[in-house]
Structure 1
C-alpha cells in the first residue's frame, strides 16, 4: 500500500526499527528514536544495492518518489546510484542521461556527482574547440608527417586560432574559413591565404575521420581563395633599377633594399635583432628558429649592407630590434608592413611581390656564372646528398665575394636613369 503524507506523519517509533514500503524498492525506516529515514533497494547486474537518501520530512514524499524513479532509470542503464553519490567518474556516453536526471532534487542528493558531470561537460566542450583539436591534430598528424612543421604551427598561431580558436569545431562554417583567407589576402599575401586554406582542409579532414564533424568547411576550391601566382619570372636589370628607385620614396626603403642585397626572406629580416649583427666581421647570424628549415644561417654582408645597418643602428633608439615598431620599441614592425609599403608605391614593374627579390638575385647570379652551390647556400636552400652536408659557414669566402658583386650590380642598376636621391651606401667602406 502506497504511503501518504498523513500516514507518514502518524508513524510512531517502536522498540525496534521497522519499515513501511511505498513500492518499487522505496521504503521509510522508522527508528526507535522517532526519526524516519528514506531508503531504496534496487538490483544492478544481478546484485542488490541499498541506498539512503535522508530523513522525512526534510525529503518530502514527492521528492523521494522522484529519487526512486531516477535510481531505477539509472539502474536500467547499468549505472549505480550509490557510485554516483560517491562522486565516481561518469562515462562520457552517459553524460546526457545523467544530466537529464539531474533535477533540483538530484542536485541536493548527489551534488558532488552533478558538479563532476558539469565539469566533464565543460571539459568535453573545451576538448572540441578548434584550438584544442588543432593542437591534437598538430601533435598526432602534422608534426610527425612534415619536414617543416614550424610553418604549420605559424599558420595556426598567426591566423587560424586568433579568429576561430574558441569556436566548437563542429560550428565552423565555410564563411569562417573565407574570412580568415580574405584577411590574409588583404595584407597582400595571396600565397599564404592558399597555404592557410590547405592547413585547414587537412585539419578538418582529420576531424571528419575522428567523427567530430561531418563536412569539411575548408574544402573550398583554391580558385575561390586566391590565384596562384607564377614564380618563374625574375626581374630584369632595368626593372631592378626602376623598382629600387621607386622604393626609395617609401619610409621602408632600407628594409626593402636590404631584402634584395641579403637575399633573405621577409620574416628573417623584420624580426632581426642587433645581437645578430657582427660589425667587426661584417656578418649576420640568423638563428635556426627563424629559418624555414630550422637551421641557423650566416649572411656575409656587403659594404652597402653594412653601411645601411650602421645607419639603422643610429636610428634604432636603443631598441633590440633592427626594425622596431614606431608604436612600441620593444616589438618589431608587423609582418604586413613591407607589403603595405610596396602596395602604396607606383611601381612600373609587372606583378611584383616581395619574394621576387630572392628569385631575381638567384637568376642574375647564375647568369653571371657564379657557382650554383654558393647561390643555394646564400639563399639558405638545402642541397640534397653529400654536397648538402650542413655547415652554416660553407663557401663563406665565395659567398662574401658573390654578395659584394651582387650589391655592386644592384647599385649600377639604380644609377641608370635615376630621378630620386638615394644614399650612396657603401662608399666609405670601399675607401676603407
Structure 2
C-alpha cells in the first residue's frame, strides 16, 4: 500500500532500522533514533542503485514522490542520480536535453538539500526549539511565564543552547542541575529539571527527539525531599482527594481538606474561620490579623469551587458562627487534631506527608506553571522584605484571584484523571453554574 502522511507520522522507531515502501521504488527507512529517511531504489544499465533524499517531514510525501519521478527520468536517460548527488560530472557526450535535465536535478535536489539541512540543523538547536516552545506553549498558557523564561535564559541556554535537541543527554541535564545546586539552590535545580522535562516532552511530540533526558532523572536524585520539603505530585493530589471523598469521614471534614489545598491557608486559619469573615457575594475571605501568624490581616480571593464549598458548609454548620463547628458544641470550632486524625485513617498509596504540605504542594506547582513568585508568596501570607515588600502591600488581589482559579481548575483535573468525575458532591449553585 502507498504511504500516507498519517501513516508516516505514526511510524515509531524499533530496536533496528526498518523500511516502509511507497511506490516505484520509493521507501522511508525508520532509524532506531527516530529519524525517517527517504530513499529510492532504481535500476541503471541492469544494475540496482540506491540514493537518499533526506528526512521526513523536512521533505514531504509529495516532494519525495516528485524527487522519485525526477530520479527515474534521469535513470531512463542513462544518468545516475546517485552519481549526480555525489558530485560526478555529466558525461561530455550526453545530449543537450539530458545535460539540462541533470543540471536542473542538481539545482532542485542536490544543492537545495544542503541548504535545507543547514536550516533544519539551526532550527533544531535547544535554544531555537526552547524559544519556540516558550512562545507557542508556555507564554499563552500562563499568567506570568517569566519564571520559566528566567530558567531558560539563566541556566539552560548558556549550557546546552547550541546543542541539537536530539543530542542532549542525561549527563547534560545533570551538569545543569549540579551547577545550580552548587549555588545552594536545590529547589531551583529541581524546578529547572521540571522545566526541561516539559520542554523535552514537547520536543518528542514534535518529533524532534525520541528521548526525554530530564524525565530519566528522578526528582529525588536532584533534591532529596526532607519531611518539611514534601510536595505532592499531580497524580498524588488526585489519588489523595479521590480517597478523601470516597472515605467515611464527615462531609465537612472532606471539604475542609479540599479547601486547605485550594486556599493555601494554614490549618488553624481554616478550622477557626467564622462566617463573618467570608463574603460569598464578593468571593472573598478576610482573615483578621489576630488569627494570622504575622498578625497582619490576610485576604483570600475565592475560586468558583471554593465559593460553592462554602455554600455547602453553610448548610452543614447548623446555624453556628463557626465554619467548622464542633459536633459536641456549636459554639466551638473542631479540635486542631481532627483533620490530622482523619488523614491518618485514610488507606492510600501516597508518600508520608502532613497537612501543612498542602501549602508547599500548591506553591511548587504554581511556580512550575510560571506564576509570579510574589503572587504565590502573598497567597501563602509570607512576608516580603524591602522595596518588594512595600509594593506587595497592594496584595496583587486580581492576579491572585486568577492564579487561585487556575489552581482550583488544575486540582479538579487531577481528581478526574480521565476516569470520569468522582462524586464529590454538589458544591452549591456557584459550582454548578460554572
TM-score interval, normalised by the smaller of the two chains: 0.3 to 0.5
Q: Which has the larger radius of gyration?
A: 1
Which protein, 1 or 2, shows the higher relative CO under an 8 Å CA cutoff with sep ≥ 6? Answer: 2
TM superposition score normalised by structure 1: 0.45
